[in-house]
A = this chain, B = another copy of it.
């Protein structure tokens, strides 16, 4: 039996998402044409339109599938007391989530201008803000607020911009996490935590 052909049955939708995300992350959203995606999958452009109503919907569907864990994390965070432990746990779990869906987050990071006009732009922004609101004490001083925001940027950027730093990726990720955790911790202390 032809396993390749067999497996293709029914998972075209998934394959489109995979290939699309790959290309979006590599070249950007605008520079990736549906022709290119279709060619790489060896189907016609029209087949893409059978599975998704628009180009944007391809992206939206990827986004929704892959950012579910963040929604869960926010949900969880909201129900916890705002202790240092909680904050550190948020940072840790967020960094894990980022690593697991690295291509998507790399895409989001590098295509902000594009994404801003798309529906997911708002969604993503809102999510990050929610995370920040859990980590930041609203009555902390401005510097500590910036520290918390910076912790999140550091996680984001750590994934994409540090690829030239020496050391193996795992260690690098650990270092990034440590810096982010540190920033949150300092902010917590400054805000009167013990």
Give me the interface of A with B, judged by CB distance under 8 Å. Answer: 27-31, 107, 109-114, 116-117, 129, 142-143, 145-147, 149-150, 153-154, 157-158, 161-162, 164-165, 167, 171-172, 175-176, 178-179, 183
Contact partner of A27 (CB less than 8 A), chosen from B117, B162, B167, B172, is B117
By the criterion CB–CB under 8 Å, are B179 and A150 in contact?
A: yes
List residues of chain B with CB within 8 A of the CB of A112.
109-111
By the criterion CB–CB under 8 Å, are A167 and B154 in contact?
A: no
List residues of chain B with CB within 8 A of the CB of A145.
165, 175
A149-B165, A178-B143 in contact; A114/B31 too (CB < 8 A)? yes
List residues of chain B with CB within 8 A of the CB of A147.
179
Contact partner of A114 (CB less than 8 A), chosen from B28, B153, B176, is B28
- Bound-state CA distance A30–B114 (Å) is 9
List residues of chain B with CB within 8 A of the CB of A164.
129
- Bound-state CA distance A171–B146 (Å) is 11
By the criterion CB–CB under 8 Å, are A167 and B142 in contact?
A: yes
By the criterion CB–CB under 8 Å, are A179 and B31 in contact?
A: no
Nearest 7 Cβ contacts at the A-B interface: A28-B113, A110-B112, A30-B30, A110-B113, A142-B175, A150-B154, A153-B157
